[in-house]
Amino acid sequence: MATTLPTSASAVVAHGKDDLRVESVTLREPAADEAVVEIAYGGICGSDLHYWLHGAAGESILRDPMVLGHEVVGVVARGAADGTGPTVGTPVAVHPATPGPGSGKHPARYPADRPNLSPGCTYLGSAARHPHTDGAFMRYANLPTRMLRPLPANLPLRRAAVVEPASVAWHAVSRAGDVHGQRALVVGSGPIGALAVAVLKRAGAAHITALDMHDVPLGIARAVGADTVLKATETDAIAAVEADVVIESSGNHFGLASAIAGAVRGGRVVMVGLLPSGPQPVAISLAITRELELVGSFRFNDEIDDVIAALADGSLAVDPVVTHEYPASRALEAFETARDSARSGKVLLDFGA
């Protein structure tokens, strides 16, 4: 770990649609409440892929070059000047959200105990606002100490690299209520879906069925706890699942249709996969006549602390979810791999390689 920090660092920067670059960026002086974190690993998320492939993630449109990345872990290289947060040498995970009340004459209301729903919430590596919020896919990142979560000594940084997406999955399962002894269905076995399977397994679900279009993600789902795996085209088998709890993580209307079809009458469907903006062609009449509960799930709050503890004590099995690792200098190759869900799970960038 460096004792004298450089004035620039290599970073993964999205400049626009189909324009991803690994380039040197100038390191600004950290604010008083910011620590400098030497990033070890970063996980490529769907939003990172969207900024690269489309120049936008949903309604968040790139207007300027932006450093990507919000799934990061590393080691504190310089403590915050105000004395808050972890000290030099502490391994940390990052909670990438900054809740905020929003602005305007009539700011949106939200539950005080659910800051993930605050209308002014920003996220690392997000173009939702302008100026954009740079992410942390860089060798050194200035991060507010409130974002940093010290990691136990027995938790390797590579395993901790999935803390952020595992927290998303943990939050989604918590939105389902008490799943102990319940039959569960997970639609979409990409990284979030597979992590949801692992969380459901830890929480005591009696039987977990996982769906996907491809064999590789289904194999990962089985490795982390799925009892049954089905191809998404097996409509009769899906309808026969009759799950008490469904986690929809595919992010498309076909997956939501499968979630509704596979839920038991009176069951609950948690929608964590973010569908495109606008109307979606879904058989809502079936949800009505079966009295299904359709529940949204967005990011997470303090679940990150539970995830870290579960990873450290070994009760949350996640290792099979990570399928590829690339040095950050080969970021474009890593992104190409991550976009191919038929052959990859979570893809990591190694910033120390």
Is 117 inside any structural domain? yes
Domain extent for 55:
8-162+318-350
Q: Are residues 231 and 334 in the same domain?
A: no
- Whether 305 and 149 have beta carbons less than 8 Å apart is answered as yes
Q: What is the pTM of this model?
A: 0.95
Please report, for the domain that includes residue 342, its CATH number: 3.90.180.10
Give the bridge partners for 3, in sequence order: none
Q: Are residues 204 and 255 in the same domain?
A: yes
Same domain? 202 vs 135: no
304 found inside a domain:
no
Q: How many domains are contained in the chain?
A: 2
The stretches of the chain forming alpha helices (DSSP H) are 46-54, 157-160, 163-175, 191-202, 215-223, 235-239, 253-262, 284-289, 303-313, 331-339
Q: How many CB atoms lie within 10 A of CB 288?
A: 9
Per-residue pLDDT of the chain (353 residues; tens, 9 = 90+): 445 788 999 999 999 999 999 999 999 999 999 999 999 999 999 999 999 999 998 888 999 999 999 999 999 999 999 999 999 999 999 999 999 887 776 678 899 999 999 888 899 999 988 999 999 999 999 999 999 999 999 999 999 999 999 999 999 999 999 999 999 999 999 999 999 999 999 999 999 999 999 999 999 999 999 999 999 999 999 999 999 999 999 989 999 999 999 999 999 999 999 887 788 888 899 999 999 999 999 999 999 999 999 999 999 999 999 999 999 999 999 999 999 999 999 999 999 87
CATH label of the domain that carries residue 178? 3.40.50.720
306 in a structural domain: no
How far from chain centre, in Å, is Cα 282?
Answer: 25
